[in-house]
Amino acid sequence: MIISCLNSALKWKLLHFKELDQWTKGTVALLGDASHPTLPYQGQGAAMAVEDGAILGLLLSKLQNSGISPDPEERYAQLTDLLQLYEDLRKKRTEVNVAGAVDTRHYYHLSDGEEQVKRDQELAELPASAWQGPCNFNWGDAAYQKSLLGFDSLADAELNFDAWLRRRRTEANL
């Protein structure tokens, strides 16, 4: 066995921390575990961090290409407003992911007893086709899976940036 090849192993606790209320301040933005730490029960922590970086990069690139103001004060205002858009776009999605990981942890680590027996029976009785519909276990719920794995974050950011830019330009012309 592979494990017999090890001389030692480290043991550490997996801890859950509350997601930050605010990810941005001025021209500083956090991403990944710095803003929304998650347990590894959905395998989405790194994916959410990569999405954060991709969205942040897309928004900053679009701002640069849209004609960012040469005036330092206006540029600062544009950037801080854009970083708030980044936070608004990402926060709800990462909150769902973090909550899902907490739920999955609970579901995986039930102590022996009534709740564990009920879970085991529910999973044993599910036909393969049931995994295509709703399920009490979010990893078995088709709609949950689609929302988690099938969401196009970049397309969503593109649409929201365009709306954000139109709103800023309208406000500037008032």
- In 40-59, which positions are buried (b, 16+ CB within 10 angstroms) versus exposed (e)? ebbebbeebbebbeebbebb
Q: Tens of pLDDT along 61-99?
A: 999 999 878 899 999 999 999 999 999 999 999 999 999
* Residue 130 pLDDT > 70: no
Confidence (pTM): 0.85
| Closest C-alpha among 119, 105, 103 to residue 13 | 105
Q: Is residue 78 part of a domain?
A: yes
Q: Is residue 55 part of a domain?
A: yes
Q: Is residue 164 part of a domain?
A: yes
Q: Is residue 31 part of a domain?
A: no
Burial status of residue 61 (CB atoms within 10 A of its CB: 0-12, 13-18, 19 or more)? exposed
Q: Which domain holds residue 58?
A: 39-120+130-173
How many separate domains does the chain show?
1
* Residue 129 pLDDT > 70: no
Q: Is residue 32 part of a domain?
A: no
Tell me if 15 sits within 8 A of 21, measured CB to CB.
no
Query: Could you tell me the two tokens for 174?
Result: 């008032």
Q: Is residue 88 part of a domain?
A: yes
The whole-number average pLDDT for the span 117-134 is 77
Q: Is residue 146 part of a domain?
A: yes
